[in-house]
C-alpha cells in the first residue's frame, strides 16, 4: 500500500525562503544550551564528531573549532544548501531514515530537533548509539511539544486565544507529518535501553516578548505551514493577526520547552 508522503517527509523545508530566518532564530535560542551540553569533557581536541540535521551549520562549526586540526567533524543533512566544508569540517548529504551511519567510531553524535520529526525515530536512535566509539557520547535535543505554550501577557483575552488556536493548529500539522510531540520525554529511557551510561537530561524554557527573535520563530513557522493551516480551518486573517501579535512588545509568551538528553557508551575494559 502506498504511504502518504505527508507521513514520512520533514515538515520544514531547508530550501524554502523561510528556512534562513527559522535557522537564525533557532540558533540564537539553542546554541548556548547545546554548547554547554557538548562542551568538555564531551568535546575535546582530536575527537571525531557527527552533527545530524546540521541545518545552518553553527553547531558543526563550533565542534570543528573545539576538536582542532587533529579532530574531524562530519555535518550531514538531507539538504546541505546552508552548509559548507572547511578545514576539519566535512559536509555530506545523508538521510538517517534510510542510510546507515557514515562510520562506527564517533566520539560525539549530536542530533537537535531531528528525531522528533521521524516516524522511524526509535530505530534511528538505536543505530546512532551503535555508531559510537567506546566512551563516545550521544546527545539528543528536542522540543517537548506537549507542554502548554503559556501566554504571560497579551493585549486582550482574544489575542491570547488566537495565539493558542494557531499554535495548536501548527502542532496538529506536525503530527500529520509523523512527528511525536511527546518524544522528548521518552529519549532518556531510550538512551538507557540502548546501553548508554551516565544518561542525564536538562530542560530549558524562557519568555519571548513580541518583536524578539524567539517570538519570530512562531511567525516564521506559521508562514512555512500556511497552506496546511488554512486547509485546517485557520483563516488568512487569523494568520495575519497572529503575526502582528508576535511583533507586539506587549505580548509575551513562554518558549517551547527544550529538552537535552545525553548518554555515553561504556568504554572497553
Confidence at 220, pLDDT banded by 50, 70, 90: very high
Look at residue 249 in the predicted model and tell me its pLDDT. Answer: 97
Q: Are 116 and 143 in contact (CB under 8 A)?
A: yes
Q: 537564525: which residue's cell?
A: 24
pTM for this model (two decimals):
0.92
Look at residue 22 in the predicted model and tell me its pLDDT. Answer: 87
How is the chain split into domains, by residue range? 5-146+178-206+256-264
- Residues 175-190 have a mean pLDDT of 96
Q: Closest Cα to residue 261, out of 38, 3, 71? A: 38
For 177-198, letters b (16+ CB in 10 Å) and e give bbbbbebbbbbbebbeebebee
Q: Closest Cα to residue 110, out of 33, 46, 179, 178? A: 33
Tell how far CA 8 is from the center of its chain: 17
Average pLDDT, rounded, for the chain = 92
Look at residue 8 in the predicted model and tell me its pLDDT. Answer: 43
Distant-in-sequence contacts of 116-124, Cβ < 8 A, 24+ apart: 116/142, 116/143, 116/145, 116/179, 116/180, 116/181, 116/183, 116/184, 117/10, 117/11, 117/174, 117/177, 117/178, 117/179, 118/178, 119/7, 119/8, 119/178, 121/180, 121/183, 122/190, 124/96, 124/97
For residue range 57-108, list pLDDT tens digits in order: 999 999 999 999 999 999 999 999 999 999 999 999 999 999 999 988 999 9
Q: Which CATH number fits domain 5-146+178-206+256-264: 3.30.565.10, 3.30.930.10, 2.102.10.10, 3.40.50.150?
A: 3.40.50.150
Q: Are strands 257-264 and 132-144 parallel, antiparallel or unpaired?
A: antiparallel
Q: Are 198 and 37 in contact (CB under 8 A)?
A: no
Q: Are 174 and 145 in contact (CB under 8 A)?
A: yes
Percent of the chain past pLDDT 70, that is, above it, reads 93
Q: Is the pLDDT of residue 155 over 70?
A: yes
Q: Which residues 6+ apart lie within 8 Å of 3 measured at CB? A: none
Q: How far apart are CA 162 and CA 159, in angstroms?
A: 5
Lowest mean pLDDT among 15-19, 211-215, 249-253: 15-19
Whether the upstream peptide bond of residue 38 has omega within 30° of 0, thus cis, is no
Q: 560525539: which residue's cell?
A: 108
Q: Is the pLDDT of residue 55 over 70?
A: yes
Q: Are 135 and 264 in contact (CB under 8 A)?
A: yes
Q: Is the pLDDT of residue 151 over 50?
A: yes
Give, rounded to a whole angstrom, the gap between the first and last alpha carbons of the chain: 48
Amino acid at each position: 500500500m502506498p504511504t502518504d508522503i505527508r507521513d514520512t517527509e520533514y515538515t520544514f523545508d531547508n530550501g524554502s525562503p523561510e528556512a534562513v530566518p527559522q535557522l537564525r532564530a533557532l540558533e540564537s535560542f539553542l546554541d548556548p544550551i547545546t554548547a554547554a551540553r557538548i562542551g568538555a569533557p564531551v568535546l575535546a581536541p582530536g575527537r571525531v564528531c557527527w552533527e545530524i540535521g546540521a541545518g545552518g551549520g553553527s553547531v558543526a562549526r563550533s565542534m570543528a573549532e573545539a576538536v582542532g586540526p587533529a579532530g574531524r567533524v562530519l555535518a550531514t543533512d538531507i539538504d546541505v544548501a546552508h552548509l559548507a566544508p572547511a578545514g576539519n569540517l566535512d559536509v555530506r548529504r545523508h538521510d538517517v531514515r534510510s542510510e546507515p551511519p557514515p562510520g562506527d567510531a564517533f566520539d560525539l553524535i549530536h542530533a537537535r530537533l531531528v528525531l522528533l520529526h521521524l516516524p522511524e525515530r526509535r530505530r534511528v536512535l538505536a543505530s546512532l548509539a551503535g555508531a559510537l566509539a567506546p566512551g563516545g557520547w550521544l546527545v539528543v535535543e528536542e522540543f517537548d511539544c506537549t507542554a502548554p505554550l503559556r501566554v504571560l501577557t497579551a493585549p486582550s483575552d482574544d489575542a491570547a486565544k488566537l495565539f493558542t488556536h494557531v499554535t495548536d493548529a501548527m502542532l496538529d500539522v506536525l503530527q500529520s507529518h509523523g512527528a511525536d510531540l511527546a518524544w522528548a520525554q521518552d529519549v532518556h529511557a531510550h538512551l538507557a535501553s540502548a546501553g548508554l551510561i551516565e544518561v542525564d537530561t536538562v530542560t530549558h524554557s524562557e519568555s519571548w516578548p513580541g518583536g524578539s527573535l524567539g517570538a519570530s520563530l512562531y511567525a516564521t513557522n506559521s508562514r512555512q505551514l500556511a497552506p496546511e493551516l488554512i486547509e485546517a480551518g485557520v483563516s488568512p486573517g487569523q494568520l495575519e493577526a497572529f503575526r502582528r501579535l508576535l511583533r507586539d512588545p506587549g505580548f509575551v509568551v513562554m518558549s517551547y520547552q527544550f529538552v537535552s538528553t545525553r548518554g555515553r557508551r561504556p568504554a572497553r575494559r
